[in-house]
Structure 1
Amino acid sequence: MPTPIPFPSGEYGNQGSGATNPFTPSTNTPTSRPSGSSSRQWHGGRASLLAPVRDLAEIAGGAIPALPGPARGDDMNHSPPPDSAPRSTQGRRPTAAPDLQLPEGDAPIERKVYDALRYALMSGRMMPGQMLTSRSLSDMLGVSHTPIMAALKRLEADKVLEGRNRSAFYVSEPDRDEFREILDIRLVLEVMALRRAVRNITPETLARLRVINQSWLPVGTIAEGPATLPAEMLVERKRAALAANFRFHFEIYRHCGSATLVDLIERFWLRIGPMLHRYFASDNVASMTDAHEEILRALENSDAEGAELALRYDLNTAFTMIVPQLSRTGGG
């Protein structure tokens, strides 16, 4: 597991301020697509990336397989159907906790537990519907029950977790309309952070981003994994890929010069981090690497417009792959 990135208040600091208007695209940008992507993936070039995502009904019509459940013996614990009654934990076999690590530093233990859970959610260590119990987390982290419950209750208040009995919580999963709303907000916040970061990206930062993106290369066979890899290895490969994706985005966003903006982005990654596991149920994983390469090229050339368009492509593509797998509003 990669070393968790702690998120204490003010970590990102003021590394630059001011930005060009992120919502005013130039009129003379070329319409070339990211290298390695097909014309079908690029949807007609840069201009289409500035348009709204296609209608939900059109997207949902695509035949994209549902996320397979974990293999027997895996530590993923999925939720019961939403309408099932809460079940007593008495006599239930212990639930394995996700692999967590407390951040270093002098913060209170309650904050460390909360940050460890936040990192796990944002970076793809947890899956949608996964069950968490205070007992398993206490055993994993070597921490008493009280700070564990405080962190779980806080994440429940943030609508990231859903409590269904006295000590069990489940990673919540948005429906289609909520996921679309989250995308719309992310496009505003993350485009703003990206454009503000362009002027602050150094050659050293670019080098780190390239190393992070290179870690995607061994992950390119994920779509073929179920036929060639043991289930546990496939799960770990997906987690490593999602952790790399998380680090790539936040290595950029932390240079935007606004800790407040980064904090807002994190709030939505708490919701979408687990959902990105569903991206690997599609056959379009390579498009994320293509978009990241385009972002890197744009950052190297201080091209805020090109970086924005590649980011929009990245987020919109993930959306179109995930949304057909989600329930309709109202459980339909």
Structure 2
Amino acid sequence: MPTSVKTRPGPERHASQDAAFRTRADEVYAQLKRDVAEFSLVPGDRFTESEISERLGVSRTPVRQALFRLQQEGYVEVLFRSGWRVLPFDFDQFEQLYDLRMVLETTAVHRLCDSGHRVDRSLLDSLARIWLVPAAQRSSDTVQVAQWDEEFHCALVAAAGNAEMARVHRDVTDRIRIIRRLDFTKQPRIDATYEEHAKILKAIRANRGEQAAMLLRAHIETSQAEVRKITLHQVHMARTAGRR
């Protein structure tokens, strides 16, 4: 009788499996990062790979890959024989990131007002349609305004035409998102953001670089001051408010 031969999976099958795991790991990574940014997971929270695996309906392999990636970025730490923990805020690092953000954005604003540089006016026009509106048309949705605020600052840098500067700025934006969202838990801060963004845009459109940079610097410094006030209690309160 002919002997049956077991064939091993070819390289194509291994490649497709690896790609599937990478895709699932990317999805888990993105979801866990959202959980931290939206305070579903707050600094100090502990969890296991099995808990995440069960909640997201995936195997532990992509969960582990995602967590190792988040560990490298400073969001979580692995605990000896007891799962994982969301790391406390590193406020010194946030201060440094805000300083870097200040340099990048004020430099971009000066370029936007310099006739010698190519500027993407379509990006500025799209910002005007959001921020230069009557008070009655303003959004009061804290999640929406937080997203628009982030896009406002990224668009200013992108419109200045330096792709490397925009790339670094996006990385900074990603790393401060977790605490930046706390700046939009109260209506007065939303109102102030509309007013301040409108003044910055008007100065840019009038090519008043020094004024635009001054307004932008004050705007970022106000947000930075709010960051300094953040306590773990406030984070828990923000999470509670977000679940209502």
Quickly name the TM-score band, shorter chain normalised: 0.5 to 0.7
Q: State whether structure 2 residue 37 is matched by structure 1 residue 116.
A: no
Greater mean deviation of Cα atoms: 177-186 or 292-301: 177-186
Which residue pairs with 2:107 in the alignment?
192
Shift of the 112–314 alpha-carbon distance from structure 1 to 2, 3 Å rule, reads: same
Tell me the alpha carbon deviations over residues 120-169 of structure 1, each in whole angstroms, 9 at most, x when there is no partner. 489x5447528576556556766543233223222221223344465434
Which residue pairs with 2:175 in the alignment?
271
- 3-state SS in 2 of match to 1:257: coil
Q: Alignment partner for residue 170 of structure 1, among 69, 86, 93?
A: 86
Q: State whether structure 2 residue 228 is matched by structure 1 residue 314.
A: no
Tell me the alpha carbon deviations over residues 225-244 of structure 1, each in whole angstroms, 9 at most, x when there is no partner. xxxxxxxxxxxx33222111
Which residue pairs with 1:211 in the alignment?
129
Q: What residue ranges of structure 2 are gaps of 5+ in the alignment?
A: 1-19, 233-244
Which residue pairs with 1:287 in the alignment?
192
- 3-state SS in 1 of match to 2:86: strand
Q: Alignment partner for residue 242 of structure 1, among 128, 141, 146?
A: 146
Larger Rg computed on CA atoms? 2
Higher helix share: 2
Shift of 1:277: 3.3
Shift of 1:317: 0.6
Tell me the alpha carbon deviations over residues 269-309 of structure 1, each in whole angstroms, 9 at most, x when there is no partner. 23321112332466444222222112211232233323322
Q: Which amino acid aligns with 1:173?
A: F
Shift of the 119–252 alpha-carbon distance from structure 1 to 2, 3 Å rule, reads: farther
- 3-state SS in 2 of match to 1:168: strand
Shift of 1:209: 0.9
Q: In structure 1, how many angstroms separate the alpha carbons of the residues matched to 2:65 and 2:201?
A: 40
Q: In structure 2, how many angstroms separate the alpha carbons of the residues matched to 1:121 and 1:295?
A: 32
Q: Which amino acid aligns with 2:100?
A: I
Q: 1:291, 1:313 within 8 Å by CA — same for their partners in 2?
A: no
Q: What residue ranges of structure 1 are gaps of 5+ in the alignment?
A: 1-105, 220-236, 328-332
Tell me the alpha carbon deviations over residues 17-65 of structure 1, each in whole angstroms, 9 at most, x when there is no partner. xxxxxxxxxxxxxxxxxxxxxxxxxxxxxxxxxxxxxxxxxxxxxxxxx
Q: In structure 2, how many angstroms separate the alpha carbons of the residues matched to 1:141 and 1:240?
A: 25
Q: How big is the alpha-carbon RMSD for the aligned residues of Structure 1 and Structure 2?
A: 3.7
> Which runs of structure 2 are paired with 1:1-332 in the superposition (5 Å)?
108-109=22-23, 112-113=26-27, 116=30, 120=34, 124-126=37-39, 129=43, 131=45, 134=49, 138=53, 143-164=58-79, 167-170=83-86, 172-175=88-91, 177-197=92-112, 199-213=117-131, 217-219=138-140, 237-280=141-184, 283-326=188-231
Shift of the 168–188 alpha-carbon distance from structure 1 to 2, 3 Å rule, reads: same
- 3-state SS in 2 of match to 1:302: coil
Q: In structure 1, how many angstroms separate the alpha carbons of the residues matched to 2:130 and 2:139?
A: 12
Compute the TM-score of the two structures, normalised by the length of structure 1.
0.49
Shift of the 321–193 alpha-carbon distance from structure 1 to 2, 3 Å rule, reads: same
Shift of 1:316: 0.3
Compute the TM-score of the two structures, normalised by the length of structure 2.
0.64
- 3-state SS in 2 of match to 1:129: coil
Q: Which amino acid aligns with 1:251?
A: A
Shift of 1:110: 6.4
Shift of 1:326: 4.3
Greater mean deviation of Cα atoms: 311-320 or 180-189: 180-189
Shift of 1:248: 1.4
- 3-state SS in 2 of match to 1:159: coil
- Percentage identity across aligned positions? 21
Tell me the alpha carbon deviations over residues 53-109 of structure 1, each in whole angstroms, 9 at most, x when there is no partner. xxxxxxxxxxxxxxxxxxxxxxxxxxxxxxxxxxxxxxxxxxxxxxxxxxxxx9x52
